[in-house]
Structure formats: C-alpha cells, structure tokens
Amino acid sequence: MIGVFDSGFGGLSVFDKISKQSPDLNLIYLGDSERTPYGPRSKETIYEWSKQAIDFLFERGCQLIIIACHTASNSALRQLQQDYLPNSKYKGRKILGVTIPIVEEVVLQAKKRVGVLATRGSIKSNRFIEEIKSRNSKLEIFQVASPMLVSLIEEGYSDSVACKQFIKHYLKPLKNKQIDLLVPGCTHFPLIFDQLQKKSGKNIKVLNASQIVADKLKDYLSRHPELEFNNKLTGYREYLTTGDVDLFQEIGHRFLKTSFAAKKVVLKFKLI
C-alpha cells in the first residue's frame, strides 16, 4: 500500500497522476483538510502535524508514503526521514517528497534562470534554492510566494478573471528576471497549468510537476522490488480527510474530474 499525504486537497493532483500512471497500485489518500493550509504555519507545527499523518498511514499498512504537499515536503520531510523514521517502529518503510523529483528535472531542463511559484512556507524554507544549487551552483533561482492562487483554486475560481490577474501579477517579477524555466511549486497548480503556460510566454518552459512526480515514483518502484506491496497489487483506492467529507468530495472533484467517496478520520492531535 502506498499512502499519499497532503495538507488538504492539492496532493490529489499528484494522486491522480500516480493513479493513472500505475492503475494497479494500491493507494490511500489522506488530506488534513481540517487544518489546511500548512503554508502560514511554523516549521515545528508542520513537522508535528505531518508526523501525525505519517503515523496514521503507517498504521493503515502503508509501506511507502509520499508527502504530496510542497510545504510539508520542504519543511518537514528531511526531519521525518532522519529523526523520526529511524527511531520509530516503522524501520524499513519509506517516506518520499515531491521536491527532489522536481529539482532533478529542473537541473536537466533549466538553462540559466529558474523561477519558483510556491506557498509562503515553501519559499521561507529555501529548500528549492538549496537543492537546486547543490546540483548546479551556476543556476540562478528566483522565488515568488503566491498564496492567493491556492484559495482561488480551492473555491472553484481557477478560470476566473481574478485568478488570471493574480497569475499575471505573480509571474511579472519572474518574467522581469528573464527566467527560462518555471517551477509550479504547489500541488494545486496543475489546475492552472494551461494558464501558467499561456501567461509565461513561449520563452519560458513550465514544468508539469505532478506528472514528473508520478514518473519518478514509477522509476523508484522499479528499482526497489523489495517493497512488500509489489506482489499484492489490486488497484485499491481509499480517500480520507480530517475535515468535512462533503466539502472534500466537492473540491476533490475539481482535481480528479470524477466523483469519489471519502471517509472522515481523526488524527492524534497535539496542540502547538
């Protein structure tokens, strides 16, 4: 079983690509929509809440968990891999994020200047800059926080005039820097991928981030046949949320383009 965890809804874009790319995989999606968004939270809070979700999914039998939330991936993944996992009862299981697969593709495709659109939490972590620079120090990276886009997408206004205006607004400083590659560093952004391409112009390559993650996961699984779930594939799907089920299904439909039945779960909350 593979778990896909997100702070709310955006990770469904990654879940969707994985599901279509590898339909036989057994997948569970967990959205912590009760406490979304993670972007404005402290690093300590993001780590604690992510750990609660990881515990839950491991208890459900997941052998591999993908943190499909850029904020959590950038702020908490390293600590989860280095501190939490080795000292837990889940040794031998894996936790992966969405940042590194995208960074690896950036290094392959970028020419000189890279622009990153992301949440405030991801921008504050500087993880994109650190990881890209560690692989190619000559690349210049410019970041812009774009919090309004997440709200507009979740409320169903991804095609609205307001959303298009904010896309133009957030892209302007990056275009002024003459970037040649744009990283949509939020899992909500596949819903505005076409608009990002159009507004970026023909001289800027826009990465298809969710597809990149799905492709990298397929490659990862092919190189790790020892993972226990590889011989128990049935195409099982489960959708879980910590928030309102009806709202989760409504918003989730915009990402998956299909109806689905979700269940509400309660994580072991700890006040931060």
Tokens 């969710």: give the residue. 210
Whether 252 contacts 237, CB under 8 Å: no
Per-residue pLDDT of the chain (272 residues; tens, 9 = 90+): 999 999 989 999 999 999 999 999 999 999 999 988 887 788 899 999 999 999 999 999 999 999 999 889 988 999 999 999 999 999 889 999 999 999 999 999 999 999 999 988 888 889 999 999 999 999 999 999 998 998 898 888 999 999 999 999 999 999 999 999 999 999 999 999 999 999 999 999 999 999 999 999 999 988 887 776 555 778 999 999 999 999 999 999 999 999 999 999 998 755 44
Are 220 and 232 contained in the same domain? yes
Structural domain contains residue 272: no
pTM reported for the whole predicted model: 0.89
Are 37 and 109 contained in the same domain? no
Are 93 and 224 contained in the same domain? yes
Alpha-carbon gap, residue 49 to 76, rounded angstroms? 9
Tokens, residue 1: 């079983």
Are 216 and 92 contained in the same domain? yes
Structural domain contains residue 8: yes
CATH classification at residue 23: 3.40.50.1860
Tokens, residue 13: 């874009």
Distances 193 to 76, 117, 187, 207, 211 between C-alpha atoms, Å: 26, 12, 11, 9, 12
Structural domain contains residue 258: yes
Q: How many domains does the chain have?
A: 2
Structural domain contains residue 271: no
Are 108 and 193 contained in the same domain? yes
Whether 141 contacts 116, CB under 8 Å: yes
Structural domain contains residue 117: yes
Q: Among the three residues 172, 193, 208, which one is the final residue of a domain in this structure? A: 208
Are 198 and 115 contained in the same domain? yes
Structural domain contains residue 269: no
Are 83 and 148 contained in the same domain? no
**pLDDT recorded at residue 108:** 96
**pLDDT recorded at residue 219:** 92
- Give me the helices (H) in the chain, please: 12-21, 43-59, 70-75, 77-79, 99-109, 120-125, 127-135, 147-154, 161-176, 193-200, 209-222, 245-256
Structural domain contains residue 216: yes
- Name residues whose C-beta falls within 8 Å of residue 151's C-beta, 6 or more positions apart in sequence: none
Are 57 and 13 contained in the same domain? yes
- Find the domain containing 234 and state its range: 2-97+211-264
Catalytic residue numbers read 69, 186
Alpha-carbon gap, residue 77 to 71, rounded angstroms? 9
CA dihedral 253, 21, 33, 56 (to 10 degrees): 140
**pLDDT recorded at residue 272:** 43
